[in-house]
């Protein structure tokens, strides 16, 4: 790294507890340190580089966009049209379809990285990051025994850093495979099997459809209410149409319109065990971050009886599930489509910007991108890639002003305080 100062085998003074800590190496990084090489981290690095600010990107996996490359199923496509998913400064190729495949999206991210000359440091797992108030810098320590010291820290690990695995009574007694969707690739492994999918978000719905197409016999657990909308309506994407309508009409009116058209196109989903929330889809998204399901064919399989719907699970027994309505059914495997969560509280020693409860910014979008002492957050808006792009631009603009004004002073200050 041509912008870093590396000190091998040094004892770096710990200003918090006055003890001396031995690290394999300490690296001074006068530019922002970005944790996470997913779309959010890449977008921020590209926006900063466009403004003349270099970055150091640390990534725990061995590739960019590890969630997409390593933990998604084969048939996955972007659920929103590509124009709402492109990163700043570089659109998708014109020959890509409206809803790019997983492979195409990863190829786009690789091209994005190469276009902007981004060079993440892979296999670097951050175990702690805290702000040293005496010297005025962030100290980022990794599992590989390296400490990076920088004036700026950008948290780009996102909302989907770790799997959410619910504890269901009797899981140890089930006797068959119980896997999270992060380990699910294709329904081919479950051919002719009875499979219970727990979770009715976009992933759960699409996994059920994939299982059907691979001649498995899927059932879906729908514990909570859920909005199911057609992916497209009136010849346009439902998301794009919603964004256009919101320019002219209030959210509640747009919600009424979406539900009216959905009822006409999909019928009454209540009949099939899919109960709608009291709040409309857009209002619910704004309040809780819960995303409506965009149907890509699953509802037709539910209507035809190819996918059965059950309420919440009461307990599991050997190769069977007992549901809260008293029914009991046999299953060969269980797939947990129960989502992901932030892992920020595990390693970031700061609680002003991020909540210790859920690892998300305390302030809702659009005000959760900036904290104190050079701390920033991206990828936590619950608004997908569009929200990440919005925050990437704001972060880059904010840091650019500091970079141009403070770089010489920051470097001299670190020399005096950290290596005395």
pLDDT digits (tens, 9 = 90+) for 56-103: 999 999 999 999 999 999 999 999 999 999 999 999 999 999 999 999
Give pLDDT, residue 25: 85
Burial class (CB in 10 A: 0-12, 13-18, 19+), 66: middle
pTM above 0.95, yes or no: no
Give the per-residue pLDDT at 10: 34
Q: What is the mean pLDDT of the chain?
A: 90
3-state secondary structure 119-184: CCECCCCEEEEEEECCCCEEEEEECCCEEEEECCEEECCCCCCEECCCCCCCHHHCCCCEEEHHHC
Give residue 24's pLDDT band: very low, low, confident or very high (50, 70, 90): low
The whole-number pLDDT of residue 365 equals 86
Q: Does residue 418 carry a pLDDT above 80? A: no
CA–CA gap between residue 88 and residue 86 (Å, rounded): 7
Q: pLDDT value at position 339?
A: 94
The pLDDT-based confidence of 3 (bands split at 50, 70, 90) is: very low
Asked if residue 14 has pLDDT above 70, the reply is no
What letter would DSSP give residue 276? P
The residue written with tokens 């978000």 in the block is: 201
Are 147 and 140 in contact by the 8 Å Cβ rule? The answer is yes
Name residue 321's beta-bridge partners. 316, 329
- pLDDT band per the 50, 70, 90 thresholds, residue 351: confident
Closest CA to 332 of 320, 316, 324: 320
Q: Is 420 exposed, middle or buried (0-12, 13-18, 19+ CB in 10 A)?
A: exposed
- Which of 8-22, 187-201, 279-293, 350-364 is predicted most confidently? 187-201
Q: What are the helix (H) ranges across 277-325?
A: 281-288, 298-304
The confidence score (pLDDT) of residue 408 equals 53
Number of other CB atoms surrounding residue 183 within 10 Å: 13
Confirm if 239 and 385 have CB atoms less than 8 A apart: no
- Nearest Cα residue to 124 out of 56, 193, 39: 56
Residue in the structure block whose two tokens are 């950008």? 154
| pLDDT tens for each residue of 160-201 | 999 999 999 999 999 999 999 999 999 999 999 999 999 999
Residue 20 tokens, joined: 């001396």
User: What digits encode the pLDDT tens for the residues 241-284?
Assistant: 999 999 999 999 999 999 999 999 999 999 999 999 999 999 99
pLDDT(207) > 80: yes
Count how many residues are written for the chain: 420
Cα four-point dihedral sign 83, 89, 94, 97: negative
Tell me the pLDDT band of 307, cut-offs 50, 70 and 90: very high
| Interval 321-349 mean pLDDT | 95
* pLDDT average, residue stretch 369-386: 94
Q: Residue range 374-394: average pLDDT?
A: 94
């Amino acid at each position: 790294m041509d912008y870093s100062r590396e000190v091998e085998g040094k004892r770096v003074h710990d200003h918090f507890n006055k003890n001396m800590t031995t690290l394999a190496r300490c690296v001074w990084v006068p530019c922002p340190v970005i944790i996470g090489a997913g779309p959010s981290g890449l977008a921020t690095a590209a926006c900063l580089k466009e403004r003349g600010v270099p970055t150091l990107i640390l990534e725990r996996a061995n590739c960019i966009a590890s969630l997409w490359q390593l933990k998604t199923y084969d048939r996955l496509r972007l659920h929103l049209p590509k124009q709402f998913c492109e990163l700043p400064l570089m659109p998708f190729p014109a020959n890509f379809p409206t809803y790019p495949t997983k492979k195409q999206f990863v190829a786009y991210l690789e091209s994005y990285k190469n276009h902007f000359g981004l060079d993440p440091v892979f296999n670097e797992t951050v175990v702690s990051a805290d702000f040293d108030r005496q010297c005025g810098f962030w100290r980022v320590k990794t599992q590989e025994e390296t400490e990076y010291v920088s004036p700026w820290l950008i948290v780009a690990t996102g909302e989907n850093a770790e799997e959410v695995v619910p504890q269901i009574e009797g899981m140890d007694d089930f006797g068959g495979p119980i896997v999270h969707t992060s380990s699910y690739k294709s329904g081919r492994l479950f051919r002719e099997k009875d499979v219970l999918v727990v979770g009715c978000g976009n992933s759960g719905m699409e996994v059920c459809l994939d299982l059907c197409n691979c001649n498995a016999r899927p059932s879906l657990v729908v514990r909570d209410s859920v909005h199911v909308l057609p992916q497209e309506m009136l010849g346009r994407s439902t998301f794009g149409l919603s964004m256009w309508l919101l320019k002219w009409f209030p959210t509640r009116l747009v919600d009424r319109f979406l539900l009216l058209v959905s009822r006409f196109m999909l019928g009454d989903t209540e009949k099939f065990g899919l109960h709608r929330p009291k709040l409309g889809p857009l209002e619910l998204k704004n309040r809780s971050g819960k995303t409506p399901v965009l149907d890509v064919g699953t509802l037709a399989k539910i209507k035809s009886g190819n996918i059965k719907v059950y309420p919440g699970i009461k307990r599991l027994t050997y190769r069977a599930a007992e549901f809260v309505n008293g029914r009991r059914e046999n299953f060969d495997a269980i797939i947990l489509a129960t989502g992901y969560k932030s892992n920020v509280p595990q390693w970031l020693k700061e609680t002003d910007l991020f909540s210790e409860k859920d690892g998300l910014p305390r302030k809702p979008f659009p005000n959760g991108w900036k904290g104190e002492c050079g701390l920033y957050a991206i990828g936590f808006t619950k608004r997908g890639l569009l929200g990440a792009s919005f925050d990437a631009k704001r972060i880059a603009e904010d840091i650019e002003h500091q970079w141009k004004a403070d770089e010489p002073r920051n470097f001299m200050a670190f020399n005096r305080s950290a290596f005395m």
